[in-house]
Amino acid sequence: MASGVAAWLPFARAAAIGWMPVANMPMPIAPTEKNKRADELIVLNVSGRRFETWRNTLDRYPDTLLGSSEKEFFYNEETKEYFFDRDADVFRAVLNFYRTGKLHYPRSECITSYDEELSFFGIIPEIIGDCCYEEYKDRRRENQERLMDDDEDKKDAKLPNMTFRETMWRAFENPHTSTMALVFYYVTGFFIAISVLTNVVETVPCGATPNTKEVTCGDRYTVAFFCMDTACVLIFTVEYLMRLFAAPSRYRFMRSVMSIIDVVAILPYYIGLVMTDNEDVSGAFVTLRVFRVFRIFKFSRHSQGLRILGYTLKSCASELGFLLFSLTMAIIIFATVMFYAEKGSTSSKFTSIPASFWYTIVTMTTLGYGDMVPKTIAGKIFGSICSLSGVLVIALPVPVIVSNFSRIYHQNQRADKRRAQKMQKARLARIRISKTGSSNAFLHSKRNGLFSEALELTSSIEEEQHLSKNQSLLESQHHHLLHCLEKTTNHEFADELCYEQSYLEGALQSYPSQSPSLSSQEGMTGTCCTRHTKRNHAPLPNSSIPTCALSHTHPHHNLQELSTIHIQPLNTSRSSLNMRVDEPARLNCQSGTITTAIISIPTPPATTPESDAHPPPPGPTLQNVVKVSAL
């Protein structure tokens, strides 16, 4: 129900007069206000502060505490007011929600106390207006992080009954949990450092023997370096295998970045072992050794900051992409210009455009090596323009990256981002549900309404009252309005499922009729169209119509009623009685309405679908436009 515009409902109903001359059928009866009382002021006493408002204002949102009869629990007979022992400041925001339809979040309030008040008064936080929603979400996230940090400290306590595998995994992830883990952590760190150092020192020229040229240490102490390398690789392999064993999800572990780095770090060694000392492949072998430098990335397990840096770069991918793109554009432009400017000068280093790329890059990043300099005047002018624009182009995306990094560094997590996305999805889902809820409310009440009308005829009045208690007057008036529209257009509202099914069946209509073994039913299958079961269908003899034929929520027997023919009946709700085969007598005398069935496929003739009293005919039912009287 459009509660925010409840005040305009009388206007909408009055405007419905515009439909009357157009409608071909009589309109349904308007709901009457059983106990119409004049609008009165009610007093809400919240911790001593008195708020007064009209009763109608609170009735706008009947599914909250103040809008429903739940507030009667708080009514104080002596003082004739409603007393709430809650925070008066937050109550202001709550009451303003009723008055204006928008919920605001007062920034000075603590987020948890605000949440508590909202849940006390039965208001979902998702309807906070857009003006305050971001602030609300930010505060909420900070609060949850704080709680999470507290949890982290608690998490380190060892849970009882952990398997050996789980203990090992926990030891790998949090080195502080046990001494063994700490030892392992430091040992691996040490070996990573040794390995990196070895790689570096290998290439340093180590004392020369007088008659030959300088050799690198690696070549001089080959065996020693080889042993060092082997030891490191062994440790790394063992570590990797242990992690693989302990990982709770091996597949996910193998896909993770850290494990890929591990593999890349140790693989060259094994490949080198396998390959023989062939001259052709030794070149490739040397290249492989380059990959050993990736071992340095293994330090990221040991350093939080390094992980965050990596994460920042990943999250700023678009800014980095933009930076790269704009740089490339600028480089090409300036390289071309410089090439043509310097073409005239003699002994110019700008031999081709690609050769000018180097100059452009060095100039734009303000490096200025000086190995290529322009000599012509035009070249110098363009060169200066190049260096000035280089500063600009590089400076633009960098602050974004910097601010991203600082934000992430302070907030600290990729898990946090994933959680935020889930909450956004949940919020949108809840808003969508509440929106479809309003349109579905009409459909639901239609079914209930038909149910209650059928109940009237069995003269069980108590049940009828029980059913209609939930609808407020506003809702019933709104539904009456929608009902009038249906009558005007001779079509009914259906929900999405029915629409799709009828659409599909409409598509099927082009084929000739299929198995006539099923009876003459209208072809609505599925659980959504329960109300259609109440319309003109002759139930199958073998279907289990319960004697209490009012259980309209039995869609099971619908599944048997697969009909290929799409009959489009338009009948009033009274025909719901037709389904009660067990009481044909009563059926005959009470359902005295005329129904118009319009069917669209001209195929073999069939009997009327309204002949409920008779057993269903074997063939499919079709007719042209027919006026059929319900028996």
Partner 1 sequence: MGALMVIFSLQKDQRRKRTDSVEDELELSAVRHRPEGLEQLEALTRFNRKELQILYRGFKNECPSGVVNEDTFKDIYSQFFPQGDASTYAHFLFNAFDTDKDGSVSFEDFVMGLSILLRGSVQEKLNWAFNLYDINKDGYITKEEMLDIMKAIYDMMGKCTYPLLKDDTPRQHVEIFFQKMDKNKDGVVTIDEFIDCCQNDENIMRSMQLFDNVI
Q: In angstroms, rounded to a whole number, what is the distance separating the alpha carbons of residues 480 and 474?
A: 10
Residue 428 binds partner 1 (CB under 8 A): no
Tally of CB atoms within 10 A around 213: 7
Residue 313 binds partner 1 (CB under 8 A): no
Closest by Cα among 217, 214, 213, 243 to 228: 217
Taking residues 82 to 121 in sequence order and writing x for each that binds partner 1 by CB under 8 A, - otherwise, the string is: -----------------xx---------------------
Out of 372, 481, 606, 630, which residue is the one contacting partner 1 (CB under 8 A)?
A: 481
Residue 504 binds partner 1 (CB under 8 A): no
Do 629 and 594 meet the contact criterion of CB atoms below 8 Å apart?
Answer: yes
Span of 62-70, 157-165, 242-250, 394-402 interacting with partner 1 by CB under 8 A: 394-402
Residue 631 binds partner 1 (CB under 8 A): no
Least distance from C-beta 403 to partner 1, angstroms? 6
Phi/psi of residue 569, nearest 5 degrees: -85, 150
Taking residues 7 to 26 in sequence order and writing x for each that binds partner 1 by CB under 8 A, - otherwise, the string is: xxxxxxxxxxxxxxxxxxxx
Helix (H) or strand (E) holding 205: strand 205-206
Out of 156, 496, 582, 583, which residue is the one contacting partner 1 (CB under 8 A)?
A: 496
Residue 434 binds partner 1 (CB under 8 A): no
- Total binding residues toward partner 1, as defined by CB under 8 A: 72
* CA angle centred on 193, ends 192 and 198, rounded to 5°: 100
Residue 388 binds partner 1 (CB under 8 A): no
Query: Taking CB under 8 A as the criterion, which residues in 562-581 touch partner 1?
Result: 566, 568, 570
Q: Which is it for the CA torsion 550, 554, 555, 560, positive or negative?
A: negative
Least distance from C-beta 166 to partner 1, angstroms? 45
Q: In angstroms, rounded to a whole number, what is the distance separating the alpha carbons of residues 536 and 554?
A: 16
Out of 35, 37, 38, 212, which residue is the one contacting partner 1 (CB under 8 A)?
A: 38
Q: Which two tokens stand for residue 371?
A: 């190995």
* CA angle centred on 492, ends 488 and 496, rounded to 5°: 145
As a whole number of Å, the CA-based R_g of the chain is 40
Q: Which is nearer to partner 1, 302 or 480 (CB)?
A: 480
Residue 59 binds partner 1 (CB under 8 A): no
Per-residue b or e along 465-493, where b marks 16 or more CB atoms closer than 10 Å to that residue's CB: eeeeeebbbbbbbbbbbbbbebbbeeebe
Q: Which is nearer to partner 1, 27 or 467 (CB)?
A: 27
- CA 75 to chain CA centroid, Å, is 42
Phi/psi of residue 266, nearest 5 degrees: -100, -15
Residue 624 binds partner 1 (CB under 8 A): no
Q: Which is nearer to partner 1, 110 or 392 (CB)?
A: 392
Out of 113, 366, 470, 527, which residue is the one contacting partner 1 (CB under 8 A)?
A: 366
Query: Taking CB under 8 A as the criterion, which residues in 523-552 touch partner 1?
Result: 529, 532
Q: Which is it for the CA torsion 364, 367, 373, 376, positive or negative?
A: positive
Residue 135 binds partner 1 (CB under 8 A): no
Residue 617 binds partner 1 (CB under 8 A): no
Residue 367 binds partner 1 (CB under 8 A): no
Q: Which is nearer to partner 1, 56 or 278 (CB)?
A: 56
Q: Which is nearer to partner 1, 523 or 619 (CB)?
A: 523
Do 53 and 42 meet the contact criterion of CB atoms below 8 Å apart?
Answer: yes
